[in-house]
Amino acid sequence: MESILLNAKMRNNLGKKESKSLRNLGKIPCVLYGGAENIHFQLDENDLKKLVYTPKVFIVELTIDSTQIKALVKDIQFHPVNDQILHVDFIELVDEKPVNTQVPIILTGNSIGVLNGGKLMKNLRKLSIRSIPKNLPDNISIDITNLKIGDKVYVRDLNYNHFEITTSENSVLVAIQTSRAAVEEEAEGTDSSAESKPTDKDSTSKDTDTKTDDKKE
């Protein structure tokens, strides 16, 4: 998994009033969990934006004063109106200690079903996994090339040995649904076949006409 470096500063004064003052200065209050004790610190808001406003997931290499710690984002709190970052929780990474996180799902290839008029439905954008830090993937890649209309990919269809998938195995990751265009195209094809194929009635009528002409002669 990719890493990103962030410089942080320890917080000595805690509380809502102090947190509000920090935000007014362009700083965001943060907490690091998972170690011997929780660590309260602050990060520059502009630095955090590189970590928050992206579909990617990073291992964060924090330098808090002079202490270096590897971590993952655990939770982000946003302002309900203006979406300003209010608070960020991190979880410390320990080499052989499994951690729960989410990684983005990437689709590759051009689905046969979509090329035939089907509609691509991506039900999940991220997959929940549990892994030791060194095995954390950047993303989960799913090849949809051979998916036809009506096909689905479930979590249970994925197979990875170096980490555990904790999302429900019955969850649908991606599906190719029938679209209106595909239905109309199929209907038009059926109508065309029906029009081009002579009916038994038409054949009988032609035979009758031929016999009538023979009698006249």
Give the model confidence (pLDDT) of 75-84 as tens digits: 999 988 888 8
pLDDT, tens digit (0-9, with 9 covering 90-100), for 48-92: 888 888 888 899 999 998 889 999 999 999 988 888 899 999 999
191 pLDDT higher than 60: no
Looking at the structure, do residues 32 and 59 belong to the same domain, yes or no? yes
pTM, 2 dp: 0.72
Task: Indicate whether 26 belongs to any domain.
Answer: yes
- How does DSSP classify residue 163? S
Query: What are the tens digits of pLDDT across the range 125-183?
Result: 999 999 999 999 999 999 999 999 999 999 999 999 899 999 999 999 999 998 765 55
> What CATH number is associated with residue 155?
2.170.120.20
The confidence score (pLDDT) of residue 52 equals 86
pLDDT of 14 over the 70 cut: yes
Binned at pLDDT 50, 70 and 90, residue 200 comes out as low
Q: Do 131 and 74 fall into the same domain? A: no
80 with 105, same domain?
no
Q: Pick the closest to residue 86 from 32, 28, 45 (CA basis).
A: 28
Structure confidence at residue 183 (pLDDT): 53
How high is the mean pLDDT of the chain?
A: 84
Report the distance separating Cα 217 and Cα 206, nearest Å. 17
Helices then strands, counting H and E runs in the chain, come out as: 5, 13
200 within domain boundaries? no
Q: Are residues 25 and 70 in the same domain?
A: yes
Pair (89, 111) in one structural domain: no
> What string of DSSP letters covers 33-98?
ESSSS-EEEEEEHHHHHHHHSSS---EEEEEETTEEEEEEEEEEEE-TTT--EEEEEEEE--TTS-
- The percentage of residues in the chain with a pLDDT greater than 90, rounded to a whole number, is 57
> How many structural domains is the chain composed of?
2
